[in-house]
Amino acid sequence: MAKLYFYYASMNAGKSTTLLQADFNYRERGMRTMLFTAAIDAREGHGRIGSRIGLSAEAIPFERSTDLFACVTREHATHSVHCVLVDEAQFLTAEQVGQLAALADKADVPVLAYGLRTDFQGELFEGAARLLAISDALIELKSVCQCGRKATMNLCVDAEGNPVHEGRQTEIGGNDRYVALCRRHFTEAMER
Can you give the pLDDT at residue 43? 65
DSSP, res 97 = H
Q: Is the pLDDT of residue 127 over 70?
A: yes
- Which residue out of 28, 88, 126, 160 is catalytically annotated? 88
> Distance between CA atoms of 85 and 87, rounded to whole angstroms?
7
Beta strand 150-151 with 60-62 is: unpaired
Q: Is the pLDDT of residue 173 over 60?
A: no
Q: Is 131 within 8 Å of 113 (Cβ atoms)?
A: yes
Can you give the pLDDT at residue 18? 96
Beta strand 48-50 with 143-144 is: unpaired
Q: Which domains are present in the chain?
A: 4-142 (3.40.50.300)
Q: Is 109 within 8 Å of 84 (Cβ atoms)?
A: yes
Report the interhelical angle of 68-78 vs 94-106 (nearest 10°): 30
DSSP sequence for 6-38: EEEESTTSSHHHHHHHHHHHHHHTT--EEEEEE
88 is catalytic: yes
Segment 2-27, tens digit of pLDDT = 999 999 999 889 999 999 999 999 99
Which residues neighbour 6 within 8 Å (Cβ) at sequence distance 6 or greater?
A: 89, 113, 114, 115, 128, 131, 132, 135, 137, 138, 139
Range scoring the smallest mean pLDDT among 19-28, 43-52, 70-79, 129-138: 43-52
Report the mean per-residue pLDDT for the chain: 90
pLDDT band at 171 (very low <50, low <70, confident <90, very high): low
